[in-house]
Amino acid sequence: MLQFLRQNLVYSSLILVLATSCKTYKLTDVKPVSIAEKVVENLYFSSNGDYVYKCQIDIYKNHVSGILIIKKLNETTHRVVLTSDFGNKLIDFEIADNDFKINYVLPDLDKKIVINFLKNDFRQLLRRQYPVSESFVNDHSRIYLSRIDNKSYYLFFNKDNGLLKQIIYTRNSREKIDFTFEAKKPIFADSLNLHHKDFKINIKLFQITETE
């Protein structure tokens, strides 16, 4: 499992470097509205309890699974632990917007491409606050555009229940990651689908225990 994960991540990185066909992301079928909110938030990982998920990772035609635990340590930092299905620790790290600390990594996974892949994905996933630059609506969602450096985030909130259902992360106007959430509460996502747009990596999380 670990051998093909490592091999395919290296292969994926080469595809990413060579890829030139990633399309510019644009909203469609929306209308702009006046901005009332200055900041919007992703609250799904804001509780002090443990977030425990069944984790499935698909890399090209390969599939791995395990258990993912996310815990908020303070207002800026989360701890993330990934284990195998048998409970063996694969990686344990702490992450914030500007900090990243590895507590443990299995030697087979201690590769720059693997670490950067996890650091980037979870930094985007666990970002909480988004300054609002523009606001839009369509038939089902209220959409907020947040610009941070050369990155842009499109946050889609369900009109009916107000819950965050999707984040599109772009860099230099090109779509990079699509985060799609299923939730009944604003602080806990029952499931998450993390889909890369520029190479074939997909991560799915499914609730095991619900945080209080």
Could you state, in order of their start, the residue ranges of all structural domains in the chain?
Answer: 2-209
With b meaning 16 or more CB within 10 Å and e meaning fewer, what string describes 83-113?
A: beeeeeebbbbebbeeebeeeebeeebeeee
pLDDT at 29 > cutoff 70 = yes
Q: Sorting pLDDT into bands at 50, 70 and 90, what band is 18?
A: very low
The CATH architecture annotation of domain 2-209 reads: Clam (2.50)
pLDDT at 13 > cutoff 80 = no
Which has more pLDDT, 8 or 86?
Answer: 86
Query: What is the tens place of the pLDDT at every residue in 94-123?
Result: 999 899 999 999 998 888 888 888 899 999
Query: What is the tens place of the pLDDT at every residue in 176-207?
Result: 999 999 999 999 999 999 999 887 788 999 99
Taking the whole predicted model, whether its pTM rises above 0.95 is answered as: no
Mean pLDDT of 75-89: 94
